[in-house]
Amino acid sequence: MAVIPTPTKSGSLPIKTSGFRTVPEALDYAALGEAGYNFYNLRGELASSLPYSEVKARAQALAKKLAGQFERGARVAMVAETSPEFMTTFFACQYAGIVPAPMPMPVNLGGKEGYLNQIRQMIMGAKAAAVIGPAALNGFLSEAISDFPDVRVFDFEALDTLADGEAEAIPFGPDEWCYIQYSSGSTSAPKGVIGTQASVTANLHGITTYGLKLTENDRAASWLPLYHDMGLIGFVLSPMYGQRSVDYIATSDFVRRPLLWLRLMSENRTTITYSPSFGYDLSARRAARAEDGALDLSALRTAGIGGDMVRPEALNAFTQAFSSVGFNPKAFLPSYGMAEATLAVSFTEIDAHIETDLVDMRHYTRSSIAQPASAVTVPEHQRGFVLCGRPLPEHAIEVRGEDGAPLGDRAVGRVFIKGPSVTPGYFSDPESSKRMFSGEWLDTGDMGYMLRGQIVITGRAKDLIIINGRNIWPQDIEWAVEKIEGIREGGVAAFSVDDGLGERIIVVAERRGLSAEALGELRREVGRVVQTAAGAPAEIVLAKPHSMVMTSSGKLSRAKVKAKYLEGAFDEAATDSDAPRALAEARV
């Protein structure tokens, strides 16, 4: 029997985007209509559909079983596979009063050891009672918890065989938690952001009502990973909250066939999608492979950008590639957000052209003022920053200087936010939670400036590296490289630079005196170790002995090493000349 996708219009059910105090309440209402989740395979075929009515029925049945296995409030780590089973289990936790902690699928995370280390940290950080995933990952999951005898492993498919528990399955109430969200791609003690029913529903209301302005004609499509806030909140919970249908392809399938995303949107008349800038860039690079007449993006009214710095070059390339098949550049919707704010903090206006502020970077660097570029500013000293909109109602954004005082327009400082969507803190990490807040304001760790009421993000105060929307902690790379024979311990700096096409990783490592032949082998070994630690290629600089920049206390200064690199002050002969080619290939 052929699988039929859920309809765009949810029957006669009136659209409703407010008044839900909990995620279970929102699903109870969505289940009265006909919309739901649809899952497509690598060939673009509909593999399964799951109306919200069926999500509710399955989730409530499974909730009775989970209530018999776990105490109320217990944490359960689960691999966020793009599948009906993940959706059912996530919502079953909501109906059973159990806190889900989504984890990534094993894709491009530095191989088996890198993946095991990452999920082991998450399982340990969540103090999880169990870990759940697809049956194919049972071996990985069992190995990950080998040091935790009290943690049980279940596969999604086997959960249905559990007996109903004697304990009643009671849904989460308005004052309880919803999930724990771990930072994507982080492997060094990743912090678990607490999402409460109140913070999550506040953000869902803001996204659907004010950010996207949902209508009964809207249909969404996504390839985003479901362990990431943009995938989970933006394209699992938001469509359900607004009773809209959504079509999925797995992240791994998008990477293999980017045009599948566009084909799916063409066939289903998608109106809303989202991606980091690199997703649009990757699709534009593959545009020549599109079959004539296969694409029609004229229905797409919102092509959101988030999860990374907004890159005008990537968006321009996408527009040039697909305007001939109906894409309207006014569909682009820059926004700003983070997991600590559930997902979204600000949106630009629907159906408006992107605003790019062209800044004189020489003045910016000297004065921390985003002064507009003038007619005499040479192109290499200009940079365009995209305006990311005004805060959602009941939310606020403030840019502060080093003294903590609010700054005026164009003054670059640290970005603070407040509002009902903000997390109460990190799970089981009171010190980090305390450092994150200044009164009721949350320190985002981002740098930016205000311009006519809109926030403009210019970079990150933290040293976190973000490659293709995935977080990489520099110390992960540094510690791994330090262990290599021939590299000085404490003499490694990892950071990212933006070359206009995207961020790339640079690793500067102080070497010992070696022969030319030994240097070549050392460079290759460092490259292999970085690939394993970060799951991404890097440009390797083997610095001469005593050429690194240290602080007065004798500690390596990552920021000063980066500045020295940008000045071209490291020995050219010590640089991996093959890196640009390798990085270009990696981006494709």
Instruction: Report domain extents, the chain.
Output: 1-256, 260-462, 473-587
Residues of the chain with pLDDT > 90: what percent?
A: 72
Fold equal for 1-256 and 260-462: yes
Instruction: Name the pLDDT band for 321 (thresholds 50, 70, 90).
Output: very high
Angstrom distance (rounded) from CA 180 to CA 104 = 13
Which pLDDT does position 259 carry in this prediction? 96
Nearest 5°: the CA angle 270, 247, 283 is 65
Domain 473-587 has CATH 3.30.70.100: no
Q: What is the pTM of this model?
A: 0.83
Which pLDDT does position 514 carry in this prediction? 76
Pairing of strands 246-249, 36-40: parallel
Which pLDDT does position 582 carry in this prediction? 33
Average pLDDT for 306-329: 92
Angstrom distance (rounded) from CA 478 to CA 112 = 20
> 580: alpha, beta or left, given left = phi > 0 and alpha = psi -120 to 50?
alpha
Q: Return the structure tokens found at 59.
A: 């989730």
Average pLDDT for 100-106: 93
Over residues 404-431, the pLDDT tens digits come to: 999 999 999 999 999 999 999 999 999 9
Over residues 238-282, the pLDDT tens digits come to: 999 999 999 999 999 998 999 999 999 999 999 999 999 889 988
Average pLDDT for 500-521: 86
Statement: residue 115 has pLDDT above 50: yes
Angstrom distance (rounded) from CA 318 to CA 310 = 13
Average pLDDT for 430-454: 95
Widest pairwise Cα distance in the chain: 76
Statement: residue 563 has pLDDT above 90: no
Angstrom distance (rounded) from CA 191 to CA 214 = 32
Which pLDDT does position 577 carry in this prediction? 41
Task: Look up the CATH number of domain 260-462.
Answer: 3.40.50.12780
Angstrom distance (rounded) from CA 532 to CA 520 = 19
Which pLDDT does position 179 carry in this prediction? 99
Residue 253 to residues 114, 223, 546: CA-CA distances in angstroms? Answer: 21, 8, 46
* HEC per residue, 428-472: CCHHHHHHHEECCEEEEEEEEEEECCEEEEEEECCCCEEECCEEE
Task: Look up the CATH number of domain 1-256.
Answer: 3.40.50.12780
Other beta carbons within 10 Å of 298: 13
Which pLDDT does position 362 carry in this prediction? 82
Helices 312-322 & 277-285 angle (0-180, nearest 10): 40
Which pLDDT does position 586 carry in this prediction? 28
Average pLDDT for 298-319: 92
Statement: residue 201 has pLDDT above 80: yes
Name the average pLDDT for the chain.
90
**Nearest in space to 84 (alpha carbons), one of 161, 157, 25, 152:** 157
Statement: residue 355 has pLDDT above 80: yes
Instruction: Name the pLDDT band for 587 (thresholds 50, 70, 90).
Output: very low
Three-state DSSP class for 134? Answer: coil
Statement: residue 187 has pLDDT above 60: no
Statement: residue 168 has pLDDT above 60: yes
Over residues 47-76, the pLDDT tens digits come to: 999 999 999 999 999 999 999 999 999 999
